[in-house]
Amino acid sequence: MIKQRGDTLTSSGKFFVLYSEEGKGKSTSTIQSLPERIAYVSCEPRNPYEWLAASGRNPEDIDFIFPDSYEDLINFYQDTDRIVQEYKATVLDGVSYLMEIELSMEILDQHFESKYIDEITGKVKKGISKVHMLQSKMSEEGYGILAKQMGRLFRHIARLSQRGLIVVVLCLLDNNPTYQRALKEGPLLPGRAFAKVLPGFVDYIGRVKDYVNKDGFKDFPPSVDFEGSGFMCKYTGSNLKGDAFDLSLDFKWLIKNL
- Per DSSP, the residues of 55-71 read HT--GGGEEEE--SSHH
Q: Nearest-CA neighbor of 244 among 196, 204, 197? A: 204
pLDDT, position 6: 52
How much is the pLDDT for 26?
Answer: 93
Question: Confidence class of residue 68 from pLDDT cuts 50, 70 and 90?
Answer: confident
What are 227-251's pLDDT values in tens digits? 999 999 999 877 777 788 889 999 9
- Give yes or no for residue 124 having a pLDDT over 50: no
CA distances from 253 to 42, 141, 218, 258 (A): 24, 43, 20, 8
Q: Where are the beta strands (DSSP E) in 3-142?
A: 14-20, 38-42, 62-65, 89-93
Distance in Å from the first CA to the final CA of the chain: 29
Q: Cβ contacts of residue 211 below 8 Å, gap of 6+? A: 218, 219, 220, 221, 222, 223, 248
Model pLDDT, residue 54: 86
Separation between Cα atoms, residue 64 and residue 84, nearest integer Å: 16
Residue with the larger pLDDT of the pair 230 and 50:
230
- Helix, strand and coil percent figures for the chain, each rounded to 5: 40, 20, 40
Per mean pLDDT, which range of 52-56, 64-68, 131-135 is the poorest? 131-135
Phi then psi for residue 63, to 5 deg, are: -105, 125
23-37, 38-52, 114-128, 186-200: the lowest-pLDDT one: 114-128
**pLDDT more than 70, % of the chain:** 78
Sorted by where each starts, the structural domains of the chain and their CATH numbers stand as 35-172 (3.40.50)
pLDDT tens, position by position, 175-198: 999 888 889 999 988 778 888 899
- Quickly state the pLDDT bin for 4 (edges 50, 70, 90): low
Q: What's CA 248's distance to the chain center, in Å?
A: 19
Picking from 52-66, 110-124, 238-252, which range would have the lowest pLDDT averaged per residue?
110-124
- The pTM assigned to this predicted structure is 0.83
Closest-CA residue to 99 (of 90, 87, 108): 108
Neighbours of 101 (CB within 10 A): 15
Contact predicate 19/231, CB 8 Å: no
| Percent of the chain surpassing pLDDT 90 | 47
- Give the C-alpha separation, 29 to 31, whole Å: 5
Per residue in 137-178, pLDDT (tens digit) is 555 666 677 788 888 899 999 999 999 999 999 999 999 998
**What is the chain's mean pLDDT, rounded?**
81
Q: Of 19-33, 111-125, 154-168, where does mean pLDDT reach its minimum?
A: 111-125
